[in-house]
């Protein structure tokens, strides 16, 4: 019985993940979110040092080879710089 509940929870989690993936793909294909101003899709960027997802506008940035990298903190940015050199 416990196992059945576990399977049910796993199934729900899987379906939710699949739906989220599907929505992401659909949005990526259409290119423009259909005027849904109430829920603006915030594009999260990943800190390459610690793996934290950050909001690009509020993050610390570093341009590397024409690519903009986003960091959660100055410490992470310095760590990245130190690793590169």
Give the binding site for Zn ion (CB under 5 A). 47, 49-50, 52, 72, 76
Closest to Zn ion by CB, 45 or 49: 49
Query: In the complex, what is the shortest distance from the CB of residue 73 to Zn ion, in angstroms, rounded to a whole number?
Result: 5
Nearest approach, Cβ of residue 71 and Zn ion (Å): 5
* Minimum distance of Zn ion from residue 61's CB (angstroms): 13
Tokens (6 digits) for 68: 């903009």
End-to-end CA distance of the chain: 57
Alpha carbons 70 and 31: distance in angstroms, whole number: 23
Element (DSSP H or E) covering residue 77? helix 74-84
């Amino acid at each position: 019985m416990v196992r059945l509940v576990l399977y049910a929870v796993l199934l729900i989690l899987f379906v939710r993940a699949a739906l989220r993936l599907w929505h992401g793909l659909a949005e990526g294909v259409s290119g423009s979110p259909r005027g849904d101003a109430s829920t603006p899709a915030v594009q999260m960027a990943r800190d390459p040092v610690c793996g934290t997802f950050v909001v690009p506008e509020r993050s610390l940035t570093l341009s590397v080879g024409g690519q903009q990298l986003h960091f959660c903190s100055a410490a992470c940015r310095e760590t990245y710089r130190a690793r590169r050199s």
